[in-house]
């Protein structure tokens, strides 16, 4: 029994073909939108490439870009097919192409769904990439004289100002590294030497942060150094007073930023997937209705259209049996090839002269 069978008159078939022709062109626009969203995400990731570790974070934008290009090609072809389906004579040349086209379009719409879901499952990979990238960027913050690292100070400072953040996980990350270049340390100062000697690794560690961590909205002048020393500042209590620096870590700030972008892109991709799926269902109805009208031979009469010719269970069993038969046929051909006595058998009579055989006299 056919699934969701609908009866179509010639007028309904023509209207369906015209509507699908318009919807396919709308789908071309949706493909351009997917391509643009993927390109936008790729550019945004590339902007912060210096504070991200290498990984598979570009898989989502690459997926969206690829799907967008394929959407434009498939829907452009679909528009041409639907336009010709309004004429039964023109449909005959697309008759053999329609079913493979529908199968390919179904796989393509599935890829859109995968791309949309990837926007929501990328958070863990992105968080790990940001953690490792920011850790290394902060570690090399002081290396302003080393080629390949001299840009990191500017990158980190602009990042902290732009996203109102400080450090990787928080401002205390700056306490654990030497972020002041030795070039700007006065080695004749007793205070500097004491700090260097007090550290096992010989690093100049201070309870301070770079200027880019300061919150300009704070009414108090920015306190960058000796953040944990109450006696170093007037009317200051480290434990109770809200610091005038950014409290959020840059990893969380960037993660929230990219998560918001990918969430919006994921919603857009899901809506496009639903739209493409509805167009695919309409094309399937048009294909079966036009196929049946050709079988009936009455181009002006009514015809049935459906999603599946048989029930879901019967269709699944039929497809599984086809797959099993293909596997058995491949197995039989392999086994028969191995047991074929005519394979790899040497001809031992190649060098022998022909011997005339004696004929047996016939009985009289």
- 3-state SS of the chain is CCECCEEECHHHHHHHHHHHHHHHHHHHHHHHHHHHHHHHHHHHHHHCHHHCCCCCCCHHHHHHHHHHHHHHHHHHHHHHHHHHCCCHHHHCCCHHHHHHHHHHHHHHHHHHHHHHHHHHHCHHHHHHHHHHHHHHHHHCCCCCCCCCCCCHHHHHHHHHHHHCCCCCCCHHHHHHCCCCCHHHCCCCCHHHHHHHHHCCCCCCCCCCCCHHHECCCCCCCCCCCCCCCHHHCCCCCCCCCCCCECCCCHHHHHHHHHHHHHHHHHHHHHHHHHHHHHHHHHHHHHHHHHHHHHHHCCCCCCEEECCECCCHHHHHHHHHHHHHHHHHHHHHHHHHHHHCCCCCCCCCCCCCCCCCCCCCCCCC
pLDDT at 174 over 90: yes
Name, of 12-16, 174-178, 343-347, the range with top average pLDDT: 174-178
Length of the chain (residues): 364
Four-residue CA torsion sign, 183, 188, 194, 198? positive
CA-wise closest residue to 206 among 222, 225, 189: 225
> Two tokens at 152?
């990191």
Inter-residue contact 150 to 143 (CB < 8 Å): yes
**CA–CA separation, 20 vs 24, rounded Å?**
6
The pLDDT assigned to 63 comes to: 92
CA-wise closest residue to 23 among 299, 285, 303, 291: 285
pLDDT at 46 over 80: yes
The pLDDT assigned to 102 comes to: 86
Comparing 255 with 148, the larger pLDDT belongs to 255
Comparing 41 with 102, the larger pLDDT belongs to 41
200 — pLDDT class (breaks 50, 70, 90): low
The pLDDT assigned to 310 comes to: 67
Which of these ranges, 31-35, 117-121, 327-331, has the smallest mean pLDDT?
327-331
The pLDDT assigned to 101 comes to: 85
Which of these ranges, 83-97, 151-165, 201-215, has the smallest mean pLDDT?
83-97
The pLDDT assigned to 355 comes to: 43
The pLDDT assigned to 354 comes to: 46
Relative to beta strand 303-305, strand 6-8 is antiparallel
The pLDDT assigned to 154 comes to: 93
> Two tokens at 69?
């290009």
For 237-282, how does the pLDDT look when each residue is reduced to its tens digit (9 = 90+)?
777 666 788 989 999 999 999 999 999 999 999 999 999 999 999 8
Which of these ranges, 25-39, 71-85, 133-147, 189-203, has the smallest mean pLDDT?
189-203
Q: Strand pairing partners for 305?
A: 6
For 218-243, how does the pLDDT look when each residue is reduced to its tens digit (9 = 90+)?
888 888 888 888 888 888 877 766 67
Arithmetic mean of pLDDT over the chain: 82
Average pLDDT over residues 50-63: 87
% of residues, the chain, pLDDT over 90: 35
Average pLDDT over residues 187-209: 81
Residue 239, judged by CB atoms within 10 A of its CB (0-12, 13-18, 19+), counts as exposed
338 — pLDDT class (breaks 50, 70, 90): low
The pLDDT assigned to 135 comes to: 93
The pLDDT assigned to 275 comes to: 94
Average pLDDT over residues 86-115: 82
């Amino acid at each position: 029994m056919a699934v969701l069978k609908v009866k179509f008159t010639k007028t309904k078939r023509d209207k369906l073909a015209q509507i699908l022709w318009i919807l396919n062109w709308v789908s071309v626009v949706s493909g351009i939108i997917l391509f643009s969203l993927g390109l936008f995400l790729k550019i945004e990731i590339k902007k912060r490439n210096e504070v991200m570790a290498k990984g598979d974070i570009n898989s989502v934008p690459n997926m969206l870009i690829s799907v967008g290009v394929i959407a434009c090609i498939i829907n452009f072809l679909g528009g041409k097919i639907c336009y010709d389906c309004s004429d039964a004579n023109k449909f005959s040349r697309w008759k053999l192409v329609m079913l493979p086209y529908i199968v390919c379009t179904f796989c393509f719409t599935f890829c859109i769904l995968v791309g949309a879901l990837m926007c929501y499952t990328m958070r863990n990979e992105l968080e790990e990439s940001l953690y490792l990238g920011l850790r290394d960027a902060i570690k090399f913050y002081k290396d302003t004289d080393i080629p390949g690292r001299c840009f990191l100070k500017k990158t980190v400072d602009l990042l902290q100002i732009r996203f109102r953040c400080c450090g990787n996980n928080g401002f205390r990350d700056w306490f654990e590294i030497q972020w002041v270049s030795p070039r700007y340390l006065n080695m004749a100062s007793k205070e500097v030497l004491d700090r260097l000697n007090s550290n096992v690794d010989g690093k100049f560690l201070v309870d301070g942060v770079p200027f880019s961590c300061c919150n300009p909205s704070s009414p108090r002048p920015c306190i960058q150094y000796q953040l944990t020393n109450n006696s170093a500042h007037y009317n200051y209590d480290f434990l109770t007073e809200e610091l005038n620096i950014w409290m959020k870590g840059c990893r969380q700030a960037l993660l929230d930023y990219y998560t918001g972008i990918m969430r919006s892109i994921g919603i857009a991709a899901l809506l496009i997937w639903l739209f493409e799926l509805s167009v695919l269902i309409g094309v399937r109805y048009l294909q079966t209705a036009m196929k049946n009208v050709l079988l009936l031979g009455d181009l002006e009469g009514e015809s049935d259209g459906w999603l599946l010719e048989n029930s879901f269970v019967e269709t699944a069993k039929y497809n599984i049996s086809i797959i099993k038969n293909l596997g058995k046929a491949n197995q039989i051909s392999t086994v028969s090839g191995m047991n074929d006595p005519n394979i790899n058998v040497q001809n031992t009579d190649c060098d022998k002269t022909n011997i005339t055989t004696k004929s047996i006299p016939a009985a009289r």
